[in-house]
C-alpha cells in the first residue's frame, strides 16, 4: 500500500498551511518527535550539537537553515543575519563551515539585487573562516535566475560558492557543461520537485539515465563534484566509473540527507569514501520533511511507526496517572 502512495500527493501536502500548523505541534516535540529522523533540530544549538556528533563520527556535513520563498525584504534580511550568526557559531564551535541555502530565502523573488547583496554578505563572512556555501537549486522557474546570480558573484571573484543541478531537468546537461567550464563546484541530485513534462523527465528510468550521464561528466571534468544520491545503483556506478578512470576518492564526495539510508552512509564511510551529510534545521521544516516522504515509501513507513510508538508511549504514560 505504501509503495502506491503518490509522490505528487506528498508534494501537494508540502504546501498545506493547515497541515503544517498541525504537524508543527508534534513533529519535533521532545526526543521522539517523528520528524527528528530527518531534521537536525529546530534551534541552532541543536543543529550545532548534531553537527558535532557527525564530525566525531568522521563525517562531513553541510548546515541548512530551512526556509524559502520569503515575501518581504525584512524576512530576507532576517534570514541573512541568521546565516551570519550560523557562520560565527560554527567557527566558535571549531566545526568545519559548510552551508547550504536557497536564494528565495534571501529575497530572489523580490528582486535580484537584494538576493545578490545578501548572498555576498554571507560569502564574505564565510571566506574569513575558509567556509564554503552551496546554493541549493529550487524548482524550474527559479533555475535561470539562480545560475545567473551565481555566475555574477563568481565573476566578481567569489570562489567559496557552488551550485546544484537536477538530473530530472532537460536543461541540466547544458548547465553542467557551463559549470564545468567555469571550474565551479557542482552537487548533482535527481530532483525533488514536481515539474511539468515540458521541462523535466517524468519517468524514473529516464531520470536515472540522465543522472548517470551527468555524474560521469561531472566526475570526469568537474571541480571536486558532489554526488548526492541514496540510490545504491547510482553509487555503485559512480564508484566503478571513478576506479576505471583513475579518479581518486579525494577528488569527489558523496552526499546524503540526514537520517536517510543510514545503512548506505555507514557502508560508504567504512569503504573510505568522503561522505557529507546534508543537515537541515529550523522551524520551517515541514515542506522539506514532506519532500523526503515523497521520495521513498520506506520513509513513510518509518514515520508511521514513529507516530504509533509516540501514541503508545503517551497511552502508557497516561495509564500511570
Segments in 14-139 forming alpha helices (H): 17-26, 44-56, 73-92, 112-128
Q: Find, among 36, 41, 22, the residue nearest to 282 by Cα.
A: 41
Alpha-carbon distance 95 to 33, whole Å?
A: 26
136 is catalytic: yes
Whether residue 45 lies in the annotated active site: no
Torsion of CA 37, 187, 67, 76, to 10 degrees: 160
Burial track 19-54 (b if 16+ CB lie within 10 A, e otherwise)? ebeebbeebbeeeebbbbbbbbbbebebbbebbeeb
* Residues 191/214, Cβ–Cβ less than 8 Å: no
Nearest residue to 119 (alpha-carbon basis) of 74, 86, 90, 149 = 149
Given the residues 187, 261, 276, 291, the one annotated as active site? 187
The SS3 call for residue 206 is: helix
Contact between residue 98 and residue 61 where contact means Cβ atoms under 8 Å apart: yes
How many Å apart are CA 99 and CA 242, to the nearest integer?
26
Q: Angle formed by the axes of helices 73-92 and 112-128, to 10°?
A: 10
For residues 247 and 219, the answer to whether their CB atoms sit within 8 Å is yes
Which residues are tagged catalytic?
136, 187
Amino acid at each position: 500500500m505504501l509503495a502506491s502512495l503518490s509522490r505528487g500527493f506528498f508534494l501537494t501536502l508540502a504546501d498545506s498551511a493547515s497541515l503544517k500548523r498541525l504537524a508543527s505541534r508534534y513533529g519535533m516535540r521532545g526526543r521522539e518527535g517523528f520528524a527528528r529522523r530527518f531534521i537536525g533540530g529546530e534551534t541552532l544549538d541543536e543543529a550545532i550539537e548534531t553537527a558535532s556528533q557527525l564530525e566525531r563520527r568522521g563525517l562531513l556535513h553541510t548546515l541548512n537553515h530551512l526556509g524559502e520563498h520569503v515575501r518581504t525584504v525584512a524576512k530576507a534580511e532576517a534570514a541573512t543575519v541568521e546565516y551570519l550568526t550560523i557562520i560565527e557559531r560554527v567557527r566558535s564551535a571549531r566545526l568545519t563551515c559548510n552551508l547550504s541555502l536557497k536564494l528565495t530565502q534571501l529575497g530572489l523573488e523580490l528582486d535580484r539585487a537584494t538576493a545578490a547583496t545578501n548572498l555576498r554578505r554571507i560569502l564574505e563572512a564565510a571566506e574569513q573562516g575558509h567556509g564554503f556555501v552551496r546554493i541549493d537549486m529550487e524548482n524550474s522557474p527559479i533555475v535561470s535566475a539562480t545560475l545567473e546570480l551565481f555566475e555574477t558573484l563568481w565573476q566578481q571573484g567569489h570562489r567559496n560558492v557552488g551550485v546544484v543541478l537536477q538530473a530530472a531537468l532537460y536543461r541540466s546537461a547544458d548547465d553542467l557543461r557551463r559549470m564545468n567550464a567555469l571550474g565551479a563546484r557542482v552537487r548533482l541530485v535527481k530532483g525533488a520537485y514536481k515539474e511539468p513534462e515540458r521541462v523535466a523527465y517524468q519517468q524514473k528510468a529516464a531520470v536515472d539515465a540522465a543522472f548517470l550521464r551527468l555524474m560521469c561528466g561531472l566526475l570526469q571534468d568537474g571541480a571536486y563534484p558532489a554526488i548526492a544520491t541514496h540510490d545504491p545503483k547510482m553509487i555503485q556506478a559512480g564508484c566503478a566509473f571513478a576506479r576505471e578512470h583513475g579518479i581518486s576518492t579525494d577528488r569527489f564526495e558523496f552526499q546524503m540527507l540526514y537520517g536517510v539510508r543510514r545503512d548506505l552512509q555507514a557502508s560508504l564511510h567504512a569503504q573510505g569514501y568522503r561522505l557529507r551529510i546534508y543537515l537541515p534545521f529550523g522551524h520551517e521544516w515541514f515542506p522539506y520533511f514532506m519532500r523526503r516522504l515523497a521520495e521513498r515509501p520506506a520513509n513513510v513507513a518509518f514515520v508511521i511507526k514513529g507516530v504509533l510508538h509516540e501514541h503508545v508511549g503517551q497511552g502508557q504514560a497516561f495509564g500511570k496517572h
